[in-house]
Amino acid sequence: MKEWKKFLYIVAAFLACFYLPIENLRFTNAIFEALALVKWYAREHVLLCLVPAFFIAGAISVFISQASVMKYFGAKANKFLSYSVASVSGTILAVCSCTVLPLFSGIYKRGAGLGPAISFLYSGPAINVLAIILTARILGWQLGLGRAIGAVVFSVVIGLLMHFIFLKEERERHANGDFNVGEVKETRPLGQTILYFASMVAFLVFANWGKPLENDNSAWSFIYQYKWWIAAFSLVSMAIMLFKWFKKDEIKEWTQATWGFALQILPLLLGGVLVSGFLLGRVGHEGIISSRFVEALVGGNSLRANFFSSIVAAFMYFATLTEVPILQGLIGSGMGKGPALALLLAGPALSLPSMLVTRGVIGTKKTIVYVALVVVMATISGMIFGFVVK
């Protein structure tokens, strides 16, 4: 049977090569878009977003005791505290759907309950203060307010639903896994650990601080002018802490854990970005799927329009803040306000690359349910919003 499968794979590969439509301009352009998107992603997100995130994830797995994770995010932790902390994490991190993945993987493998971990996974990219403000200023206060309320509610509701849907499996996971640990004596004072993590998070946040709008004299613009100074200070501070507070064996274990996360996540992310670019292209450019086709399906406030908007948003990759100019163009082409909110609630938190990595962390079934919950809730929210705000 295995030999027949190999034979069928070979035949399928041969037929794909034989009928490769290289003379079709849309196909060749989609290939170019896939390569262009992965090149842009590598330049803009790997060094300053993913690499720091990998190091933070490695540090979580090495320097944060299981007892600490279990206390705040474990299956027996106080639910109000767990979901409160997880649901507001996006206001601090302001990362995209891919950058949050190493952090999600780190706390989940350390023993966090599925519900709080999923809440953290959704809130990281969804509850981005700058993105919400930008949405309100460019697309209108109604969409900005709808996005803010929807994102916070989504992170908690989806986390709770995942917890209850997979309650039996989660109990078995914590019963069979090595998570039932007591209080562990920390190797260094809590204050040192907090400062160490704060320096890494500060570098991640300020190195990726978004460019403000023109003629913006707010504090956001002031910080942008000095973001590299702040990021450099954070990096130097972390280096001094490592030299003074950490042993060589600890640093070695940290780098090994970081490398493990990079090996697990980076290939899937880059592969997913390639597929996403091939299907939908970059901002202002088309992939194999025509933008006219998308625009024709998201007008009005029908169930079809909201559902289609949620589905497309879930699979398309949105870098932080890029969903706003994309929506601006779609709304100008006739997109309804309901489908627009559905895209804002499903798009930043999901993408094909993030789905592939999430599947590697929590499995196929849980990933499918998570994606389905986001799409369904975004669809319903879009319909309600479109009915209220006309």
Two structure tokens written together for 133: 């403000």
Q: What is the pLDDT of residue 84?
A: 78
pLDDT-based confidence at 373, cuts 50/70/90?
very high
* Confidence tier at 92 by pLDDT (50, 70, 90): low
Average pLDDT over residues 289-318: 81
pLDDT value of position 165 = 92
Are the beta carbons of 84 and 51 closer than 8 angstroms? no
Residue-level pLDDT at 181: 46
- 35-68 pLDDT tens trace: 988 888 788 778 887 788 788 878 877 787 666 6
Q: What is the mean pLDDT of residues 156-163?
A: 90
**For residue 182, what pLDDT band results from cuts at 50, 70 and 90?**
very low
Among 113-127, 207-221, 375-389, where is mean pLDDT lowest?
207-221
Q: Which residues on neighbouring strands pair with residue 335, listed in sequence order?
A: 299
Q: Measure the CA angle with vertex 125, ends 195 and 127; round to 5°.
A: 85
Q: Name which of 155-159, 292-296, 318-322 the model is least confident about.
A: 318-322
Q: What is the pLDDT of residue 292?
A: 74
The pLDDT score that the predictor gives to residue 190 is 75
Residue 283 has what pLDDT? 66
Q: Which residues of 202-230 are buried (b: 16+ CB within 10 A; e: fewer)?
A: bbbbbbbbeebeeeeeeebeeebeebeeb
Average pLDDT over residues 363-372: 93
Mean pLDDT confidence for 229-245: 93
Q: Which of 42, 9, 83, 61 is nearest to 271 (CA)?
A: 42
Mean of the per-residue pLDDT values of the chain:
81
Q: Look at residue 32 and tell me whether its pLDDT is greater than 80.
A: yes
CA of residue 287 relative to chain centroid, distance: 22
Q: Which two tokens stand for residue 147?
A: 């996005």
pLDDT of residue 134: 66
Q: What is the percent of the chain with per-residue pLDDT over 90, rounded to a whole number?
A: 13
Rounded to an integer, the average pLDDT of 274-301 is 76
pLDDT number for residue 9: 85
Strand, coil or helix: 335 = strand
Strand, helix or coil for residue 359: helix
Q: Is the model more confident about 189 or about 283?
A: 189
330: Cα separation from own chain's centroid: 23
| C-beta of residue 347 within 8 angstroms of C-beta of residue 126 | no
pLDDT recorded at residue 333? 58
pLDDT of residue 269: 72
Task: Decide if pLDDT at 1 tops 70.
Answer: no
Segment 137-145 mean pLDDT? 81
- Determine what percent of the chain is predicted with pLDDT higher than 70: 84
**Mean pLDDT throughout 139-166?**
88
pLDDT at residue 133 tops 90: no
Could you please report the per-residue DSSP string of 221-290?
HHHHHTHHHHHHHHHHHHHHHHHHH--HHHHHHHHHHHHHHHHHHHHHHHHHHHHHHHHH-STTS--SS-
Q: How confident is the model at residue 229 (pLDDT cuts 50, 70, 90)?
A: very high
